[in-house]
Amino acid sequence: MASFISDFGLMWYLKELNKKEFIKFKEFLIQEILKLKLKQISWTEVKKASREDLANLLLKCYEENQAWDMTFNILQKINRKDLTERATEEIAGNPKLYRDHLKKKLTHDCSKKFNVRIQDFIKEIFIQNDCDTFENLLISKGTEKKPHMVFLQGMAGIGKTMMLKNLMLAWSKGLVFQNKFSYTFYFCCRDVKQLKTASLAELISREWPSPSAPIEEILSQPEKLLFIIDSLEGMECDLTKQESELCDNCMEKQPVSILLSSLLTRKMLPESSFLLSTTPETFEKMEDRILCTDVKTATAFDERSIKIYFHRLFQDKIRAQEAFSLVRENEQLFTICQVPLLCWMVATCLKEEIEKGGDPVSVCRHITSLYTTHILNLFIPQSAQYPSKKSQDQLQGLCSLAAEGMWTDTFVFGEEALRRNGILDSDIPTLLDIGMLGKIREFENYYIFLHPSVQEVCAAIFYLLKSHVDHPSQDVKSIETVLFMFLKKVKTQWIFLGCFIFGLLQKSEQEKLVVFFGRRLSQKIQHKLYQCLETISGNAELQEQIDGMKLFCCLSEIEDEAFLVKVMNCMQQINFVAKNYSDLILAAYCLKHCSTLKKLSFSTQNVLNEKGNQRCMKKLIICWNDMCSVFVRSKDIQVLQIKDTSFNEPAIRILYEYLKYPSFTLNKLVANNVHFFGDNHAFFELIQNCSLQYLDLGCSFLTHSEVKLLCDVLNQAECNIEKLVLANCSLSEQCWDYLSEVLRQNKTLSHLDISSNDLKDKGLKILCRALTLPYCALKSLYLNNCQITARGCQDLAKVLRNNQNLKCLHISNNKLKDAGLMLLCKAIKHPNCHLEDLRLWITDFDNEFQAILLSEK
């Protein structure tokens, strides 16, 4: 019976006992231990143990068989035959049946989705240390034990699905989560989406080995269920719906988007655990709406894995090294190769190009070129120079299908969708054989493209072949709409679509497509895209919405420097996030051609602080230097926003060197959640040298020594800063003395925000000594969420009675209570008080004081 304990644990059975039965259970337990002459546990320890404690104690002191045998006997003695019968039934029953089914299904799941040779290699990579990796996915943070809601994020095709299926296989073999879960169920959103409507019971039944799943028994222990939901990017879940619109009934049929939203928001089965996988773009969109317990990142192929795979595929060491070197020199291409399926595609494409005497260097110039070369090669037999008419029609049909999918958020296609776009049933075996399509389920006629990016490039080709008005689906919109939606990131699934469209405008790409399809392509596309970008250049509101990285990606793909310069010199504001070295290269390439910026907002996350060899670090610094050259060319930048960025010492020094010139007009600097590693004096020198009027360091951790450096700058007579934001900066006790001195000496500072810091009444008293002085220039003070109590209100009241300059005071989310509010209300009525704006959370007070507040409004 030990296997039963591993699967289910004793705790559930002990929880089924009422208080009286649980006391009897303890008494019989002591007798049973004596009778069997087992290691003794003191009655005191047993008596005070909770159900969970007792279950853990039994498993700790005795072998699993012994612990269960005693429990089983005692349950009989206290006349809980229902529990013993259930346990006996389940030991040999449904959980074992399901595990065996899952083990068989996953062990023999060799029906590969695609006819490609990399999947065996991926399995080799993932098989190392798998069990440790899986256990770490669901390790609780801290001591609080609550149901898991863990996100596994990673680029499409990086191997998340394979990792999750390996986890399921390990669970079915009893290697992981032995005491955690009775059942684990895997749902792929792209698969589930095809159902339109379903109940959770129906989804579970689809995974069961027989037509009738024991739903009631499965759902009777929701805390013992793990749901693995894969590819969330494949389904639009509306997490903004009201709770009343969601569903808590597992048997009730709902639109599948509502069903998944009900699970993710814990309206349904709140006690169960969830492991969710998605792309970084979708996670970014959802993270504020789901209370996740942890976030994990699926690791990609590293440089060593990529190199090994190239050598395995080529076999010829010299050619393998040549091909790998070409990829390594192109950072974008190298980043793509971190995705296993795309690594196979790149390596295979280069191998074929070399073998037929082509030019692999030109293929590697841009990602568009590599994708189109690979796809066109698939449709042209090695013995032929040109494609057949059938191959032309097949690719045109795929491009039409891809475009429809991009607009309808569809990545899994049924046979009806294929036929609608001109793909015949007889074409499907060929498309599967060459690897353009793969099957989503072995026995169902649903198909997907090799990778979402392959679908994107096919969709881009569609727009060069036909107009959107000729598409069989009215969902497909114009090329102009594509560009605006891509640049504004309206659809998070569109990673490369706009870039591919621009890449296809290159003369060499146009020539390839003309040769393949045997006809001229539309010449209006380029003009239409130029017009779109001209619209952006003259519209400040539109520029605010544009994602800079998307724009940089498009401009770098077209390989037209004159056009790039023209576009960049129409931009007055740019906002971008560089998530890796590849992104930083694109940003630097475009920004060094820009001379018209007035506002620049960026994040480089941890890119500038990543550890690497000396050669890599040198390249990174050169790239950062190129990017910072925008501050020389665009001398009219007035607003600089840096968010979620870690700087090492050389990086901050380079930024300082470019911003220190007197001719530079920067007057607003925002550095939110910015971290410095090494000597950061240069940053505070930068603040000193710039004629700043607005400085926001919110959410950036500042030590007391850094606050001292900042305050030394603020205390200088030539300092022009009028507004200072230090909200949520983890300011320590020593900081309040430094800031108090600033309030005494600085004559220009009119706004101070120190919300969400550990100020408390003690720190407030220090600041109020300066604020009470008649010559204190401060007009606006934000103290939200600073742990201020009624005692602190005494000092604030004194400030209000004495400081005639203070016009605005925000003190929401504190512990003022009615007594503190009364002190402030009296102070506001004082003739010397000139306060115009007092912000509180009115609901923090009782009805009487709410009435007082409203009367003082």
Partners of 598 in beta bridges: none
pLDDT at 637: 93
* pLDDT, the chain, mean: 87
Most confident range (mean pLDDT) of 47-56, 106-115, 489-498 is: 489-498
Mean pLDDT for 103-129 is: 59
Span 185-215, pLDDT tens digits: 999 888 888 888 999 999 999 888 887 788 8
Q: At 506, list the tokens.
A: 């290159």
Q: Is the pLDDT of residue 121 over 70?
A: no
The answer for residues whose C-beta is within 8 angstroms of residue 200's C-beta and 6 or more apart is 250, 251, 259, 263, 268, 269
What is the side-by-side strand order in the sheet with 723-725? 573-577, 599-603, 639-648, 668-677, 694-696, 723-725, 751-753, 780-782, 808-810, 837-839
The reply to whether the predicted model has a pTM over 0.95 is no
28 vs 59, more confident: 28
In this predicted structure, what is the pLDDT of residue 850?
Answer: 67
Give Dmax (Cα) for the chain. Answer: 96
In this predicted structure, the answer to whether residue 141 has a pLDDT above a threshold of 60 is no
Confidence at residue 526, expressed as pLDDT on a 0 to 100 scale: 80
Partnered with residue 603 across adjacent β-strands are 577
pLDDT tens profile 375-393: 999 999 877 888 999 999 9
User: Rounded CA gap, 98 and 93, in Å?
Assistant: 9
What pLDDT, on a 0 to 100 scale, did the predictor assign at position 252? 94
Rounded-to-integer distance, Cα 584 and Cα 366, Å: 16
Q: What is the pLDDT of residue 325?
A: 95
Residue 383 DSSP SS3? coil
Q: What's the pLDDT band for 235 if we cut at 50, 70, 90?
A: confident
Residues 577-587 pLDDT 10s: 999 999 999 99
Picking from 697, 766, 761, 704, the residue whose alpha carbon sits closest to that of residue 735 is 704
For residues 564-585, average pLDDT: 92
The model's confidence at residue 4, banded by pLDDT at 50, 70 and 90, is very low
**Does residue 592 contact residue 627 with C-beta atoms inside 8 Å?**
yes
User: What percent of the chain is modeled with pLDDT above 70?
Assistant: 91
Res 10 pLDDT > 60? yes
Residue 555 phi/psi, 5-degree rounding, is: -65, -35
Please report the pLDDT score of residue 8 as a whole number: 45
Sign of CA dihedral 5, 10, 11, 15: positive
What does the pLDDT read at residue 846?
67
Residue 417: predicted pLDDT: 96
- Residue 839: phi and psi, rounded to 5, are -110, 120
Task: Please state, in angstroms and rounded to a whole number, the distance separating the CA atoms of residues 730 and 707.
Answer: 11
Predicted local confidence at residue 184, as pLDDT: 93
Query: Given a cut of 60, is residue 699 above it in pLDDT?
Result: yes
**3-state class (DSSP) for residue 615:** helix
* Per-residue pLDDT at 132 exceeds 80: no
pLDDT given at position 129? 46
- List the single range of 171-180, 504-513, 565-574, 834-843 with lowest mean pLDDT: 171-180
pLDDT of residue 677: 84
What pLDDT digit, counting tens, does each position of 521-530 carry? 777 888 888 8
pLDDT over 80 (residue 300): no
Instruction: Report residue 852's pLDDT band, with 50, 70 and 90 as the boundaries.
Output: low
What is the per-residue pLDDT across 400-419, written as a single tens digit (0 to 9) for each? Answer: 999 999 999 998 899 999 99
For every residue of 786-807, which 3-state class applies, written as one string?
A: CCCEHHHHHHHHHHHHHCCCCC
Beta bridge partners, 227, equal: 185, 274
pLDDT at position 663 is: 67
Tens digits of per-residue pLDDT, 716-768?
A: 988 999 999 999 999 999 999 999 999 999 999 999 999 999 999 999 999 99
Of the pLDDT bands very low, low, confident and very high (cuts 50, 70, 90), residue 695 is very high
Q: Is the pLDDT of residue 446 over 50?
A: yes
Residues counted in the chain? 857
Please name which of 501, 496, 466, 345 lies closest in space to residue 395, comparing C-alpha atoms.
466
Q: Does 2 have pLDDT greater than 50?
A: no
Look at residue 143 and tell me whether its pLDDT is greater than 60.
Answer: no
pLDDT of residue 86 exceeding 90, the answer is: no
pLDDT of residue 5 exceeding 50, the answer is: no
At residue 191, the pLDDT reads 83
- Residue 140 pLDDT > 80, yes or no? no
How far apart CA 310 and CA 308 sit, in angstroms, is: 6
CA–CA separation, 273 and 292 (whole Å): 11
pLDDT at 692 exceeding the cut of 70: yes
- Which of residues 299 and 571 earns the better pLDDT score? 571
122 — pLDDT class (breaks 50, 70, 90): low
Average pLDDT, stretch 88-104? 74
pLDDT at position 841, please? 79
Q: Would you state the pLDDT for residue 721?
A: 95
pLDDT per residue as tens digits for the range 491-506:
888 999 999 999 999 9
Phi-psi region of 607 (alpha: psi -120 to 50; beta: other; left: phi over 0): alpha
Q: Which of 107-116, 266-275, 322-331 has the lowest mean pLDDT?
A: 107-116
pLDDT above 90 covers a percentage of the chain that reads 51
Amino acid at 167: L
The confidence score (pLDDT) of residue 534 equals 82
